[in-house]
Amino acid sequence: MPVTDLAPPAPPHPSRGAALSAALRRASPALLGFAAVRLLGLAALAVWGLAAGSSPHHLLAERWDSLWYTRVAVLGYGYEVALPNGDVHSNLAFFPLLPWLERGLAAVSPLAHQDAGLLVAWLASLFAAWGIFAVADLLYGRRAGVLAAVVWAVLPVGIVQSMAYSESLFTALAAWALYAVLTGRWPAAGLLAALAGLTRPVGAAVVAAVWAGALLRVRAGERSAGMLAGVLLAPLGAAGYVLWVGGHTGEGLLGYLDVQAGWGNGFDGGWAFARFIGGRLASPAFLAGVGLIAGVVLVLWLYGRCVRDRQPLPLLVYCGIVVALALCASGYFGSKPRLLLPAFPLLLPVAVALARWRTRRAAAVLGAAAVLSAVYGAFWLNGSGPP
């Protein structure tokens, strides 16, 4: 047979290791930028601690929610605190994935449970930044992806990404689940959504995003066993934990809602938050009320911009639910900025706008934002209330 009749050899299929290495190289500027901002925040917290006599380790790993997660890891579920007003704070309010990881890591390493939680959060924050980069890179290109990861790092409440809280873990799972949906990796999307549902109550937003993406593909005529597997897997984490709590408390499907009610949490459409803002406007804290209104308007404007920019439906569904649950919850008003932390699609219009700027100008703006975020984070954690 003449040589000209031979088919050209097929290009070698890259191994998973090679593909992962290439993806990591592509994301490396985003990860380095994110890590630099987070290290700056930790340095500011350390300096503030020296001046104020506070312990950064205590603030990051042994206070507020991190303490509750550690108790779940050490003692299991069933611990509760009765308050003088009759409310009961039960550790059933805290979803189990982070405590499971703390317990597992502490069992195979010399780390204490709280330090295991801190390590999980730090690693998860890097994976979250990588996932945010991957989504933005897929939609808008590498430069926008790098900037999206850094913008997420410089948020005023970015210090939470370095705490033994579940926000970083949840955001990592959510971002990669959304990436899996956008690239048609349905079993992975379903598994990640299930894990997100074991991490925070807002895991329902990831489930809804997977279902929305699948519905779009079905309407376009695409059906597959992998898609069905992803759709069925997605709700298992959240549904499984909520049903377990219902069985544990004997209250059935309403058991988890009763647990949250004991913490003063619920969904009232934002009425309690509106009254909270109104109280600030009618008090000497008037400027704080104005700032809260400005913050809500900014969040809603950014979401509107996401809609106008025609972000993919799974992102809009996910982000819309995260924003709605954060703004319309009836308790812990000081924690609302933290609850919005996983709503990273809000930042994509900002990253796209910054990508059009000259590098020096964008770097200067983000550098200034990083310094302000670091100082505010140190001030915030040394305050009286939980973040």
Amino acid 91 reads: N
Environment class of residue 19 by beta-carbon count within 10 Å: exposed (0-12), middle (13-18) or buried (19+)?
exposed
| Structure-block tokens of residue 57 | 């380790």
Whole-angstrom distance, CA of residue 117 vs CA of residue 131: 20
In the numeric block, the tokens 């317990």 are attached to: 103
What is the predicted pLDDT for the residue at 132? 98
Q: What is the pLDDT of residue 70?
A: 97
Given this model, what pLDDT does residue 135 score? 98
Phi-psi region of 260 (alpha: psi -120 to 50; beta: other; left: phi over 0): alpha
Residue 169, beta-bridge partner list: none
pLDDT at 12: 58
Q: Residue 179: helix, strand or coil by DSSP?
A: helix
Torsional sign, CA 343, 116, 245, 387: negative
Which candidate, 232, 184, 239, places its Cα nearest to that of 211?
232
The Cα-based distances of 154 to 74, 181, 241, 355, 377 in angstroms read 33, 27, 33, 16, 10
d(CA 200, CA 170): 7
Report whether 215 contacts 230 (CB < 8 A): no
Pseudo-torsion of CA 31, 32, 37, 38, nearest 10°?
60
Mean pLDDT by runs of 10 across the 387 residues of the chain is 44 74 94 98 96 95 95 94 88 97 97 97 98 98 98 97 97 98 98 98 97 96 95 97 93 88 86 88 88 94 97 98 93 86 98 96 97 96 81
The encoded tokens of residue 104 equal: 């597992």
CA dihedral (337, 338, 344, 345) positive or negative: negative
Query: Hey, where are the domains in the chain?
Result: 30-381
Q: Please name the residues in contact with 368: beta carbons below 8 A apart, sequence gap of 6 or more.
A: none
Q: What are 278-335's pLDDT values in tens digits?
A: 988 888 888 988 999 999 999 999 999 999 999 999 999 999 999 999 999 887 778 8
- The number of angstroms, rounded, from the C-alpha of 231 to the middle of its chain's C-alpha atoms is 21
Would you state the pLDDT for residue 269?
83
255, 330, 263: which is closest to 90 by C-alpha? 263
Cβ(164)–Cβ(69) under 8 Å? Answer: yes
Instruction: Look at residues 112, 128, 125, 126 and name the one whose alpha carbon lies nearest to residue 67.
Output: 112
Q: Tell me which long-range contacts 116-121 makes (C-beta under 8 A, separation of at least 24).
A: 116/73, 117/61, 117/66, 117/69, 117/70, 117/73, 117/164, 118/60, 118/61, 118/66, 118/163, 118/164, 120/164, 120/169, 121/161, 121/162, 121/163, 121/164, 121/165, 121/168, 121/169
The dihedral sign for the CA sequence 334, 379, 201, 314: positive
Residue 220's contacts (CB-CB under 8 Å, 6 or more residues apart) are none
pLDDT at 348: 98
CA torsion through residues 133, 136, 138, 143, sign: negative
* β-sheet bridge partners, residue 329: 267
Where do we find the tokens 């409440």? 157
Contact between 338 and 329 under an 8 Å Cβ cutoff? The reply is no
Instruction: List Cβ neighbours of 108 (8 Å cut-off, separation of 6 or more).
Output: none
The continuous run of DSSP H or E covering 185 comes out as: none
